[in-house]
Structure 1
């Protein structure tokens, strides 16, 4: 058999898994491979390439629902829904730029498997919150369905929530159904200049607590701004995004600017510049520079994010920025043998957060915990879930944790 299996349809996927079970082979479940660098290095015998399972199978804009085969490029889906005045509200990021790959290579199956979401998560939720239904093949070689094509679906167990974020370790998804939502008519961004990390977090908290309905809140220290300095200047900048119909955005823009005026110099970005900068933040292009090789994604309480990032940076010289009003820290560590894993794990435990190593050489990803280490009870539960779906451990073995 070849090192790559490329099924043409869902039945081929089932046949491939059944064959792997019979032959004692393990499978790397992949689409276009844009997120192959996330997780522990591949330990599989053969790649199950799902990229040929492509195409939208159902789209009903008036019902706000779309179904597509798992290998459908996310760029194709976004283009389709945009043409109908809609969007994927969870704003999935594109990992291509961070890994030095072309943008737009990700698939809808990969987006769901990694539970991707962008800056709008603070308002709209993550990918799993928009994941309505799935057809998939388990590691037992059995095809199963979960959910449906309506938002309020109560049939059976909600396996969609379980598969979202499982990185292909439980099942190979062949078809997914997601919710779409109307796209905002316009957007604008309020910028506050010159704030340190702590004051920026306070400003973002005040904005999020207001009636301005903020859909994005980020803070960029000077050291990560790079090419954005031509647009934003040479001071730290705190960004608050507003979306909606023109009269509403205009009114809320005035309200938010007045609210944040005590913090410092306030200016605004128009629609085109606003969309551009939030795509840059969404795709973590600010840390794409290869000079900072290991990149971590840290989640914690927004009130603790500033101190956490500063503590790590003071010991490592790391570059970082904040999203989700300070609750998400993207941090790049200068090249090191362990990617600063011990320091980051110790620091994150102190603030009850969690960290994922997103970008690092394979040797580092094999030597350190990529995903947040699990305590004994959670690890046992994870193993039982894995055994239920994939008792022989043939799907993406060890992708998230060793032995799982």
Structure 2
């Protein structure tokens, strides 16, 4: 078995070769590369992906970007941005990003025809150590801090970032839940950090852009005038319009947005998570009123033909299946892979039915049961989904909702960030 450090080094060489091919085929003036700055040999964790996503947001908020590409391997997630901005002014902007909050845990390289632009090229000091604020390179050479100590500091600091500002807690919880879902080893036809699954029309960057857009709406100010389902639906339509605008008509998270809006209503009205079910049931009481007038929807056709309820059933029942089955499982086992199987077993995913047909769907459901009963491997089911062009997007949405429920529970239960760090390690899910 190869040493994991050697595997990472080999992957790093492969990544640089791919990047060099990319820049040689482009006429862009400058390039930016971001990746998580996490020590040790595990570069592919969802903590790493979450930090990389936060860097992605900062880059597209502050710099005019022309193209975005990404690479995922043993060296972790790397995102490449091309731009026509001057490399020296870019470096100044990226240094500011690296010095903000969890920007400390992100590496941002700026590259032009002359190679990588360093901090010292602009007379900036080298980066500081996370922990002791001394020169980071000296700390590394002297091994002043263990890998475990550094990783624990990054984990605790990132948890603090998520929960410290009450205005943005819900948005941050939503974003983290999405990144965990996208980090799954087996996505069963969905897009993840590893690849595009059964989709030729979308990729990881499509989802990163969508998460950023949706998160900008999930703050309390957007819900001040939401009094009933009609108000909530109107907000949902507004968000959908913007979502399809940034994805150029591709449906990444329409169904998820529908579900999250119900949870956000309960959260922003300061209800206890123990009361979410009855509050959402009441809010969704009229959710089927217009169902029979929308005869062209996939949900209507599937319900009419097979008597299978669609996504509306989840809020109509007050997210009971999430509260009573999925969330307790996640609390006890912290295993996203097994949670995924349980969700696919229990829910009827009209997204999947629409892609593969009802007969193929029932075959798929039987295969899910075989995986749960250890008669089939997760790898085999994942390959089956790719071979049959199946995508389990509805289940992916419920994974995100379940993680959000769990994180809201943790926040409500503990309150203090120090207690969250002490009792709940949010970075140890099996994905």
- Give yes or no for TM over 0.5: no
Question: Relative CO higher for 1 or 2, CA cutoff 8 Å, sep ≥ 6?
Answer: 1
The TM-score range, normalised by the shorter chain, is under 0.3
Higher fraction of strand: 1
Higher fraction of helix: 2
Q: TM-score, normalised by structure 2?
A: 0.25
Structure with higher Rg: it is 2
